[in-house]
Every structure is written in C-alpha cells, then in structure tokens.
Amino acid sequence: MSSGTNNPYGGSYGNQMSGTMSFGAQPAAASRPAGGFVKDTTTAAFTKDVLEESRHQPVLVDFWAPWCGPCKQLAPALEKVVNEGQGRVKLVKLNIDDHPSIPGQLGIQSIPAVIAFVNGRPVDGFMGAVPESQIRQFIDKIGGPAGADQAAELEAALEEAQGLFDTGDLDGAAQLFAAVLQADPENARAAAGMMECLLALGEVARVSQMLASLPPELSSQAPIQAVALKLGQIEEARKLGDPVALEHELSLHPDHHEARVKLAKIRNVEGKRDEAAEHLLLIMRKDRTFDDDGARRQLLQFFEAWGPKDPATIAARRRMSSILFS
C-alpha cells in the first residue's frame, strides 16, 4: 500500500510514510474482473457454484424469471449491495424457467426468492422485492458487519506497531502506523502513534503542525489529547533551564522544590520517567503544602501522559498512595 493524496500524514515521517500492508481479506476492487461477485448458474453447475463455493464464503441464490416484474425490481439493488460488499458474500442467479429442478427441490413457490447458503446448506432467505436497506441487513446477518475483518486486522496492526515502538523500533512502528492511517485516516490511535514516533525522533515542530491540522472530532479523542499533553510538556521543559545547573542547585539546597519540579519535568521529556517521579514524590514526602500540593498535581499530569498501564505510572502511583494514606 502506498501513501496517496488521501493520506493527511503524507511526508510526516521523512520518506518512510508509505505503508506496505493491505487490510481486509479481499483484493482491491480494481484488481477484480467486473461482476466477479455476481454470476448466473445452471442446474448442472449449481453444486459447484453454490454448494461448494459456500464452503468458502456465503452464497446468495436469487431465484428469478424473465416474466417476473418484482424480480427485475429486486435485481439491481441486490447486485449493487453484493458488489459493494467486495466479496463478503457472492450472488448466484438461477432462472427458474430454464432450470426448474433446483427450485422445485427447495420448495421455492414464489419469486423473487433469495436463499443464503453456508457450508453447503441453505441457512436463511427472504422473498419479494425488499428495499435496499433490508438487503444490507440480510447480508450483514449472513456475511458479518461490513468492515469486520478489516477492523480486526487494523487492531492487530496497531498492537504490533505499539510493540515495535515500545522496543525502540521507531522505523518499524512508523511504517505500521502509516499503513493503518492509509486504510483509516481518522484512526486516532494510529495518528497518535505516528506522532509519538516523531516526538521520539525530536520532530516537535512536525507534531505541532499535525495536531493543528487535525479535525476537531479527531483531536478531541483521548490518544490525541495524550500526545498534545506530552507536546506541551516538551515545549515547557525547553524553557526550564539547564538540568546540570538544576542538579547542582539541588546538591546545595535539597529543599529547593521549585528547582526540583523543573528537573522532574526535564527528566520526564528525556524519557527518564522513574527519575522524574522520584523528584516529585520526594517533594510530597517533605512538603505537601508546596505550591498547594503542586508536586502531586504534576505527577498526575505525568500519569495522564504516560498512560495507566505504563510501568512508571504503576510504580509511582503505588508509592504516591503510600505517601497519601500513611
């Protein structure tokens, strides 16, 4: 899969933004012959076209006749929905005038009649020229909701990308996040993951630009908000001074809590989360009144940016509780 004009994140990760994965079990529609999901069958071909094929995917059989007005009304809507499904189900059409034995065996007494076959057996059906919405509901029932397979694959790709990010493989993580964004440009987890990769590479300005360009319905989601919070912490830390000077100040004046908070913020953006938490926990143990319990409030902001499952969050939250309830 290559990044295209519909990918709002194109170019955000140097020249590495082109994903190489495709999602969904079916090939793209452009690679399929026209009418690949709809075909006519005969009595002789029914076993192959319907019974055998239904062992691989659901097959709908449309029993119709040229003289049937409702059949002509149903057929365009039925074929449209099947083709839009891109292979969730196939449609096989049988002219009962030319091939009466199969509908006779199945007890078809009125047409149009649509029967769904799964694993070689009829499992459900409907009769009459039903509206398009009802056809969609029927196919969702037989073939599963549209996009269900793709959603599962995207979720698996996101988990793999996060695992790569956690182990320091920023290039691999970015490739996967980019591939998910190509398939689903409004995926908040993928967008946040992409920006996390950029932050890890020091591309703060690009992340700021990306955040500013996101639509409100996306930027308001929790993963994006966490990135925005982290970006704010990074930008703030840049203004807090030299960490070496702050450490020297604390060696001379260990109770200089303002300097310790600044150093904690710097260590946080450096990725030294345990050290950042330790500075704030030390202030909490010594003086809860400092900055109106500001060390605790700052630590809670760290937790929000790190996420509840981060080992640093879990460890620091446990130690904070022991201070608060001792």
Render pLDDT for 42-61 as a digit per residue (tens, 0 to 9): 999 999 999 999 888 899 99
What's 126's DSSP letter?
E
Amino acid, single-letter form, for residue 3 = S
Question: Of the residues 60, 68, 139, 320, which is catalytic?
Answer: 68
What is the predicted pLDDT for the residue at 19? 43
Which residue ranges does the chain devote to CATH 3.40.30.10?
29-143
Which one, of 91, 86, 82, lies nearest residue 22 by Cα? 86
Q: How far apart are CA 127 and CA 105, in angstroms?
A: 17
In words, the CATH class of domain 148-237 is: mainly alpha
What's 7's DSSP letter?
-
CB contact at 8 A, 161 and 177? yes
Mention every residue, 6+ apart, whose C-beta is less than 8 A from residue 237. 265, 266, 268, 269
Which one, of 113, 131, 124, lies nearest residue 71 by Cα? 113
What is the predicted pLDDT for the residue at 147? 53
What is the predicted pLDDT for the residue at 2? 32
pTM of the model: 0.48
Q: How far apart are CA 189 and CA 181, in angstroms?
A: 9
**Structure token pair of residue 228:** 């925005």
To the query of whether residue 71 is one of the catalytic residues in this protein, the response is yes
Please state whether the peptide bond connecting residue 112 to the residue before it is cis, i.e. omega within 30 degrees of 0: yes
Q: Where is 93: in which H helix or E strand?
A: strand 90-95
pLDDT tens-place string over residues 3-19: 333 334 444 433 334 44
What is the predicted pLDDT for the residue at 146? 55
CB contact at 8 A, 132 and 81? yes
Which residue ranges does the chain devote to CATH 1.25.40.10?
148-237, 243-324
Q: How far is CA 109 from CA 102, 103, 114, 115, 198, in A?
A: 12, 8, 12, 13, 64
Residues of the chain where predicted confidence (pLDDT) is lower than 70: 1-35, 144-150, 326
What's 55's DSSP letter?
G
What is the predicted pLDDT for the residue at 150? 64
Half-sphere exposure of 56 (CA within 13 A, CB side): 9
What is the predicted pLDDT for the residue at 40? 95
Q: Where is 206: in which H helix or E strand?
A: helix 204-213
What is the predicted pLDDT for the residue at 20? 42
What is the predicted pLDDT for the residue at 144? 66
Which CATH number fits the domain 29-143, given the four candidates 2.60.40.420, 3.40.50.2300, 3.40.30.10, 3.20.20.140?
3.40.30.10
Question: Of the residues 71, 78, 237, 284, which is catalytic?
Answer: 71
Amino acid, single-letter form, for residue 85 = G
To the query of whether residue 68 is one of the catalytic residues in this protein, the response is yes
Q: Tell whether domain 243-324 is in CATH 3.30.70.141.
A: no
Mention every residue, 6+ apart, whose C-beta is less than 8 A from residue 166. none
Mention every residue, 6+ apart, whose C-beta is less than 8 A from residue 240. 246, 262, 265, 266
